[in-house]
Amino acid sequence: MWFESRPQSGAAMREPSAATRGKLSNSLSAALLQFDVTRSPAFLLLAASVCLAADLKPEAAQAFDRYARETEARLASPKPFLWADGSPERLRQLQQGQVLVEPWNGKPDISVPGALIHDWVGAVFIPGATLEKTLAVMQDYDHHKAVYHDVLDSKLLGQNGNDFKFYRLRQLKKGVINGVYHTEFDAHYERLSGTQWLSQSRSTLIAELENPGKPNQRQLPPGHDDGYLWRLNGYWRLEQRDGGVYLECEAVSLTRALPALVGALFAPAMRGLESDTMTVTLQSTRDAVKK
């Protein structure tokens, strides 16, 4: 996830293609590992920046809000309704039981001042499921801790019709990333037809816990923590047909950026967290609905 590239300057310099940048990043990582630079004091200090507190800049928060508005405008009247319907191959894979997850428009992250925006979309088909059963699992916030492995605790904070407020104590863990977060969300569900529903959830509070589970546990000020999760919006679509329910989610999140050298070495593992989280969330929901 948190790879931040440095802009080039000068009229004679040209922006390398995405493929070229990927090859350069991989070559740099291989070269550094070959010479065992990861054991050098200078690199260890640089890598330690992954674990140091970061500040959420107002410009980054504003950029995320703009991106979220643009995403919601795009999703307001999508044609087709499901992302899966945009490709016969996607539908075939889903009907065969696969979980599909990929970055929206092929971009794992988007650089903004001091941060990165991540936009991933995923889908799963739940054979034999109904909308009622699928929605019941999604809206049973008190028991999300029993469904999703990264949710340590969960609770419904309030409900007004199709509007929900809920809490999750969530753990992010992959490679150098290891954080526990107090998160709160507002979720709105809307029935579009007898076979289609959509849901939007927006984070209203994300605060990392310092020393989680220990006597000296404390909640860090939002926006001043390790920066592994500053914002998170989820856009869900459900359609019942073909003998089951298609369940899709597009997740838009905001995290810290990292220096280029650290990003070149750790970006693959960090980006994997987005894909893994989406995949496991969809799989876990499918499993809970099928019980």
Q: What is the CATH number of the domain that holds 166?
A: 3.30.530.20
Burial of 42 (0-12, 13-18, 19+ CB in 10 A): exposed
pLDDT band at 263 (very low <50, low <70, confident <90, very high): low
- State the residue range of the domain holding 167: 53-290
* Lowest mean pLDDT, pick from 12-21, 129-138, 181-190: 12-21
Total Cβ atoms within 10 A of residue 140: 15
Per residue in 193-244, pLDDT (tens digit) is: 999 999 999 999 999 999 999 999 999 999 999 888 999 999 999 999 999 9
Q: What's the number of domains the chain is made of? A: 1
Query: Average model confidence (pLDDT) for the chain?
Result: 84
Higher pLDDT pick, 45 / 65: 65
| Whether pLDDT at 143 is above 90 | yes
User: pTM of this prediction?
Assistant: 0.81
| Whether pLDDT at 13 is above 50 | no
In a domain, 233, yes or no: yes
Token digits of residue 281: 């969330």
Per residue in 178-200, pLDDT (tens digit) is: 899 999 999 999 999 999 999 99
Burial of 2 (0-12, 13-18, 19+ CB in 10 A): buried
ω into 212 cis (within 30 of 0)? no
Token digits of residue 195: 């076979």
pLDDT band at 257 (very low <50, low <70, confident <90, very high): confident
User: Cα separations (Å) of 184 from 38, 203, 207, 242?
Assistant: 38, 6, 9, 35
Which pLDDT belongs to residue 173?
Answer: 87
- CB within 8 Å of 210: residues ≥ 6 apart: 216, 217, 218, 219, 220
In whole angstroms, what is the distance from residue 188 CA to residue 201 CA? 6
Token digits of residue 4: 């931040």
Which pLDDT belongs to residue 266?
Answer: 58
Which one-letter amino acid corresponds to residue 34?
A: Q
Per residue in 69-104, pLDDT (tens digit) is: 999 999 997 789 999 999 999 999 999 999 999 999
Higher pLDDT pick, 266 / 33: 266
Short-list 239, 247, 251, CA closest to 200: 251
- Calculate mean pLDDT across residues 11-35: 41
In whole angstroms, what is the distance from residue 70 CA to residue 62 CA? 12
| Whether pLDDT at 112 is above 50 | yes
Strand residues in the chain grouped as ranges (E):
54-55, 100-103, 110-112, 115-127, 151-160, 163-174, 177-191, 196-210, 218-219, 224-225, 231-241, 244-256
Which pLDDT belongs to residue 264?
Answer: 59
Higher pLDDT pick, 262 / 249: 249
In a domain, 36, yes or no: no
